Structures are given as C-alpha cells and as structure tokens.
Structure 1
Amino acid sequence: MPASRRRATLATVAASAGVSVATVSKVLNGRSDVAPATRSLVQSLLEQHDYVALPQRRGETAVLDTIEVEFDTDLNAYSTEIVQGAVEAGAELDVAIVVSIRTNADRTGTWARDLAATGRRALIAVTSELTTGQLAALSRAQLPLVVIDPLNLPQTEVTSVGSTNFAGGLAATQHLLGLGHRRIAYLGGPATAACNQARLHGYRAAMEAAGAPVPPSYVRTRHFHYQDGVAGGAALFDLIEAPTAIFAGCDEIALGVLEAARARGLRVPEDLSIVGFDDTQIARMGSPPLTTVRQPLREMGGVAVRTALRLAAGERVDSHHVELATELVVRGSTAPASPTAPGHA
C-alpha cells in the first residue's frame, strides 16, 4: 500500500514535525508541558496527515496505536523482562501493548490478516521461528515485524533485536578459565537457535584460545528450560571426567544444573562453578545467587517497540539487526577450581 494511503501514526507526525513521538502524544492529550510553537506545529501536522486515533471504548482512554508482542511458549522469567520493557516503552509513547502466546499451529492462513484487521500496527515476535510462508503472510497484510532473539538466523529483510551473544559466551567462559577451570562444559538451548549458536561459538573460542580441550560430551543442547538443566547436569555428572564448571545457555538451565548438583551432593561453588545467561530475577534468587551474563532484556523490548513504530510509519531503519551489549555479572555460583573437589579429582 502506498504510504499516502496508510493510516497516519504518531511516528508519522513526529517525523514530519522533527519531534519525538512522546511530544506528539502530549499534544494529543492536552498536556501543558509543550512549547506553544511546537504545539501549533504538531496540531497543524495532525490535521494535515488526517490523523485519527483508534475509537475510544466507554470508560477507557483512547488507544492510539496497538502493537502485539507474541510468544510461542508460556511466559517465564526471560519473557517477563521483555514484556516489562515493551510495556514501559508503550506507556512512554502512548502505545498499547498486547501480549499473546501462539504456536506455529495457531498461525493459520488468516493469522496475519486477522492481526491487521483488529488494529495491530506491528508485530513483535519473541524467540520465534517464523516460516517463509508466515513472513509472506505478514508482508501481504502490510504488518511490520520485529523479531527478538530469533531462533532461526534472521533474513536480511527481517528486522531483529538481540544482544552480543558471542561476546557474552566468550566472557562467561573466560571468567571460568580465569578461575583455573579447564574442564568446562556448555549446556545450551536448541542447536539451531541463532542466539544459542553465538553463545556456543563464544564458549568454543575462549576454550580454544586457552588451549583447553572440549570433548564432544561436554557440549549438550536441549531447550531453554529448567528441567533440561536438571537432566543435562545429571548427564554431565555421570561422565568419568565430570566438568568442574558449566556454562549454561540461560538462567533457567543454570538453576536446573544447580538442582542436579544438589541432588548429587555437590556444593556450588566449592565443587562446581555455574554461569548462567540473561540475568533475570531468578538469577538473583538462586542459592547461591547466579553468576550470569546480563542480557539487557527490558531494553531489547523497548528497542523493539520503537523500531516497530518506525516501520509502521514507513520509515527506514538504520540496520535490520540490532545487538545490545551484554555484561558479565559475578555472584556466588563461581569460585576457583578445586582439584580435590568430590568427583572432580
């Protein structure tokens, strides 16, 4: 559809006025903290673009724009952080955020068209693996898409938001190597997930640079779930040369490893060091609290919302893939390697 026939959005008016979306929102809501000249310009452009807010429901504030944030699995600590960031950005920009859980089986032929028909301005898909057909359906429905932590490698025409997963995996492994560990295992998520591959590559790069061997049995990929950490940890502890440290691909996996270690009578960090990934709330609730790689999940949610609004306004984005910086957070689940630890001699 030509840009001139699209319903104007706050982002459209903001771009024309050279102001932020928040400023346009303030003018619409009658806020007093806008300079008179700016208010006059914005009001003029609202009329020029024939801006129309979505209908107001009785007893509710008018909804100006709606973005759908879609997950393909139940919400957990990771997804809650992303939702929080998206909601905070939506509140700042006067955008409604709708959260849904939808598997590939639910994405039927009318899925994209139904989203557009219900007033969605854009779709944010989190850790989803969208098929070529589904991408085409979104394109036909003229519904912009932003993917957060895509499970499959993003295509050039798909806009995505992630973090520096390789650098995070590198930092996590280097931290364990610096503590004297050499038998370090990696327990990650799906083998085909782009974020998992990057974290694994960071781990392998650090191990190779240190001259530390990586036996095939030390690399295991399952899912980003707690129970996978329990099962994967138990399998690693059964090895003749069990690892003295484990880098887990997410905090849930790391907590599962922590439980597997407890069941075997292994002390963390005295007998086993564990590093997670994400730095969700559960990382701070572990016993001991997890050393982990902080992924700026709330910021990723906010960036996705702002990017989705730009795409909905027909604007170009500077890059089809944006990576936010990760940071190692050291807590109580890692310590220097102990050659006399039970089961690790």
Structure 2
Amino acid sequence: MSGVVMEQDKVGIVEVARLAEVSVATVSRVMNRKSGVSQKTREAVERAMAELGYERTSSVEGIVGVITPGLSTPVFAALAEWIGLALAPHGLRAMICPSLPGGVQERDYLKSLLDIGAAGIVFCSASNTLESFDPELTALLAGRRVPYVCVNGLFEGVEGAAFSTDDVSAGEMAVRHLQALGHTRIGLAAGPEGNKPSDRRVAGFLATSAKLGLADAEGLVVRQSYSVEGGQFAADHLLRLGVTAIVAASDQMALGAIRAIRRHGLEVPRDVSLIGYDDSPMLEFTDPPLTTVRQPIDRLGGAVARALVGLLADRQVPVGELMFQPELVVRGSTGPYRDRGPEPRG
C-alpha cells in the first residue's frame, strides 16, 4: 500500500488535466473557482481530482513562470516586474526564473514549473530569441497544454503570441540621428549572431546606412556579448577602423564602449558620439548622460499579461508577433561630427 500512496503523492494539476481532457488553465480556473467554465467541464475536473486523490495546494495555484536571461540586466528586471504587476490583479503570481537562453537550466526551470502545475509561462527574451532552440521546450508545453506568451521573438515554426520591440526600427532611428549630426562613419557594437533582437538591429542598421549612402557599413559591424566587456571589445575594434560614432546593442555595451573610447584618449561626445539601447535606470546620470533607444517595457508588460490572461480564460488571442515602437531618447552622449584627425597607433 505504501507504493500506492507514493504514486498519489506525485499527482499534480497536469495529471488532473489529462484525465479530465481539458487544459491545465481550465483546471486552474476550476480550483480557483473562477468564472468562464461550464458546469459540465467543472464537474469533469472535480471527478478527475477525486479519482486521482488530488489535494489542492494553494501555494502553487495561479503561478506564472517568467523565464528571463537574468536580473543583473536592468531592462529584464524591470520587464519582469511590470509583467508581475500586470498579472497580480487577476490572481496570478509571477515566479521569476533567471536563466541563460538555450541552457540546461532553462529546460529544468520549465520542467519544474510544469510539474508544480504552473498556470502559464512567459518566455521573456529566452530561447524564443534564438534561431536554434531546444525543441523539447515546445514539445513539453504542447504535451502539457500549458499556455505561454513570448517577448522579443517567437519560436520558429511554432504558432503562438509574441510581443516585441521593433528592433529594425531601433537600428534605423539610431543611424538617422547620427547621420543628421554629420557622422558618416558609424559603427555598430552588435549582440551575438543568431539572437533575433541583435540580428534585427543589424538589419535596420545596414538597411538605413545603405539608404543614406553610408559606405562600408557591413565592415563596421562587430558582434560581441551583451556585456560591458563585449562593448569594450567591439568599440576598441571600431575605433581602430576610424568610426566617429558608435551604436551599441545594449546600455551595458555602451558603458563598455565609453571605457574603450577613453582608453584611446578620446572623449564622448566631443570625439565619438555614442548611442545605447534599453534606457536602463540611472543612465541619464552618467557622465555624459547616455543617448539611448528606449524599449516600451510598461506597454510590453501589460500586453503580455493581457494575452496570457486571455489564454487562461480560453479566449482567442491573436497569434503572431506584435511589434512595439521604441523611442530615441537624446541626451549628452551624441553631438556634431568633428574631424579629430588620424587615429593614433597603439
């Protein structure tokens, strides 16, 4: 008999949903006594719970897993907070799961969230941003019938809902701003190849450079990690190529670029103009304050929450990727082109 008890102890919301032939979201609504469930469906769920010996565990009901690259990057921390705030009025609680996209930890987080009966998942710039992702992730979600929403990219070949910043437009507005200031040799400190937001910013940068007649744009793109060190490496390389302005793929990369610029004996923006990306808090207080492309994280967070709540209520939610327009915030790190003469060697 002890073996039977152990098996019953493992019964979770997923097993209830499977026996009742409904979604995990529907089981969650029944357990939380939410509206929008027919009496017939409610009774089927209750019968499945009784048959399996399932006991309600309120500590995990209404959990939404938010899988994000990490909370040390301010924009992801802020976006996760906005999503949590938008979900709270609907009786849902965000559980933040920081993990490198595509890593084993991300898959382990997802399995654990599904095992405890999470109501839904948000992929916040996680594996959904990668051209090559672990197909087990989407297979797990399909098998458990758990709704999910993506931020900054859809899983390739999988139908779903995503909400993203228009990174092509972001690349375009950065180049146009610098060209209007007289810069013609503009470099891009880009993120890794195969990362959708990075690839889109590169596409916007190259397309706009071509439209404006800026030469050698492809040769002025350096791919590196989204970090201070990555930005420093990319900027050092670009400065040796004689750029007078740099567009960085993140604010952290922009901070690394400032370090590289100063180590070359140059100043921002007198010698080199610089644009970041994200508009992380406190950047208007750096020296100089950083011009950056701001992501609309408040609107992104609200849209993600509304879509997930709709899916949990079994309502139709439009599929595809909805693009949100970013905003160029001009501060003190960009200025008019000034001929600084040949770049010193070394």
Could you state the TM-score of these two structures normalised by the residue count of structure 1? 0.79
* CA deviation map 1:248-302 (0-9, x unaligned): 1111111110111122221111100001111111432321111111111233233
Q: Please list the CA deviations of residues 111-157 of structure 1 after superposition, one character each: whole Å capped at 9, or x if unmatched.
A: 6453223131111122222422221112112222222123x764341
Which of 85, 88, 106 aligns to 1:88? It is 85
Report the Cα offset of residue 164 of structure 1. 1.2
Corresponding residue number in structure 2 for 1:149: 152
Residue in 2 aligned with 1:126? 124
1:102 Cα deviation from its structure 2 partner: 3.3
Aligned length: 307
DSSP-derived class of the 1:243 partner: coil
Q: For 2:227, which of 206, 225, 242 is the aligned residue?
A: 225
User: How far apart, CA to CA, are the structure 1 residues paired with 2:257 and 2:171?
Assistant: 17
Matches within 5 A, 1:167-206: 167-206=169-208
AA at the equivalent of 1:208? A
Sequence identity percentage: 24
Q: Partners in 2 of 1:49 and 1:287 — Cα distance?
A: 60
SS at match of 2:119: strand
Paired amino acid for 1:80:
A
Output the CA distance in 2 between the equivalents of 1:214 and 1:95. Answer: 50
Distance 1:12 1:167 in 2: 44
Q: Which residue identity does 1:233 align to in structure 2?
A: A
* Contact persistence 1:270–1:341 (CA under 8 A): no
Q: Aligned runs of 1:60-99 on 2, under 5 Å?
A: 65-73=62-70, 75-99=72-96
In structure 2, the residue matched to 1:290 is 290
Structure 1 regions of 5+ residues with no counterpart? Answer: 17-44, 58-62
Return the letter of the residue paired with 2:76.
S
**Aligned position for 1:317:** 317
The runs of 5 or more residues in structure 2 that have no matched partner are: 1-17, 47-54, 128-132
1 CA distance for matches of 2:97 and 2:157?
24
Question: Where has structure 1 moved over 4 Å in runs of 4 or more?
Answer: 1-5, 10-16, 45-57, 110-113
The aligned amino acid for 2:174 is A
- What amino acid is aligned across from residue 90 of structure 2 in structure 1? L
After superposition, the C-alpha distances for 1:11-54 in whole angstroms (9 at most, x for unaligned) are 995668xxxxxxxxxxxxxxxxxxxxxxxxxxxx8999579996
Contact kept? 1:122, 1:309, Cα under 8 Å: no
Distance in 1 separating the partners of 2:304 and 2:121: 10
Instruction: Give RMSD over aligned pairs.
Output: 3.0
Match of 2:15 in 1: none
For the 8 Å contact 1:154–1:160, the answer to whether it is kept is: no
Q: Aligned partners of 1:106 and 1:4: how far apart in 2? A: 25
Deviations 1:204-245 (A, max 9, x none): 122111111125431111121111001111111223xx1000
CA distance in 1, matches of 2:181, 2:149: 39
1:9 matched residue in structure 2: 29
- After the TM superposition, which of the residue ranges 187-196 and 215-224 deviates more from structure 2? 215-224
Deviation at 1:179, TM superposition (A): 0.4
For 1:8 and 1:215, the matched residues in 2 are separated by 52
- Aligned equivalents of 1:158, 1:318: Cα separation in 2: 8
Could you say what secondary structure the match of 2:120 adopts? strand
Q: Do the aligned residues in 1 keep the contact of 2:23 with 2:145 (CA within 8 Å)? A: no
**1:310 partner SS:** helix
Residue identity in the other structure for 2:247:
F
Distance 1:153 1:169 in 2: 23
Alignment of 1:326 with 2:346, yes or no, is no
